[in-house]
Structure 1
Amino acid sequence: MTWDRIKFWGMLVVFAGLLVLSIVSLNTSGVTCGGQDMHAGDTCITSGTVRGQDEQASENGGRDWIGVAIGGVGVLGYAVYGAFQLRDRRKKA
């Protein structure tokens, strides 16, 4: 297996993993702050920013959608790239 194929499959796995983890995270019902579950009345303090439970839920959801977008575009892009590479390799053979 050539180095280019290893890079291709490695990046495809990374983007697919990001896509799956983001989708799973979107479907979780709990709100977390630094890996800890938040409950009503809790505040989340990260990087000098203080957020309530509702604000943190919105922040978490936004990050998850960004992960879905990046993962989806990455998987789609690498799938198209792989299809073109396969086509070119078959033409040469």
Structure 2
Amino acid sequence: MRSTGSPVKLVLAGLVCFAMLVLGIMSLSSGTVSCGGETMRPGDTCESRGVTRSPDAQQSENNGLAWIMIVVGGLGTLGFGAVALAGRRVR
């Protein structure tokens, strides 16, 4: 069977994916709307990449990004964990 790579690299990649998962969950559960790291209040606008958003539109954008982080982070964590366990059993 072929090598799955350095165990250190697998662990680091798994930790990065796990961090994405946790940050995505924290973003969804925060209850605040942020723009560029600053909390938005009603009446504020968020300007990013030439697009201006209201707090509701920015919350929708933030939630979409959070779900992407949750899915990618969760799948990555499971995938790297499975590869690490499979490599451990082979040896």
* TM-score exceeds 0.5: yes
- Residue type of the alignment partner of 2:25: I
Q: 1:84 aligns with which of 71, 77, 86?
A: 86
AA in 2 matched with 1:52: S
Task: Report the counterpart of residue 58 of structure 2 in structure 1.
Answer: 56
Structure 1 gaps, min length 5: none
What is the TM-score when the length of structure 2 is the normalising length? 0.91
What displacement does 1:12 show?
A: 1.0
In structure 1, distance between residues paired with 2:70 and 2:31:
17
Q: Secondary structure at the match of 1:59?
A: helix
Which structure has the greater CA radius of gyration? 1
Return the TM-score normalized by structure 1: 0.89
> 1:17 maps to what in 2?
19
Residue 28 of structure 2 is matched in structure 1 by: 26
Q: CA deviation at 1:19?
A: 0.7
What SS does the corresponding residue of 1:50 show, helix, strand or coil?
Answer: strand
Q: Give the superposed CA RMSD.
A: 1.1
Higher relative contact order (CA 8 A, sep 6+): 2
Kindly state the Cα deviation for residue 14 of structure 1 after the two structures are TM-superposed. 0.7
**Preserved contact between residue 7 and residue 84 of structure 2 (Cα < 8 Å):** no
2: CA distance, partners of 1:76 / 1:38:
34
> Kindly, what percent of the aligned residue pairs are identical?
39
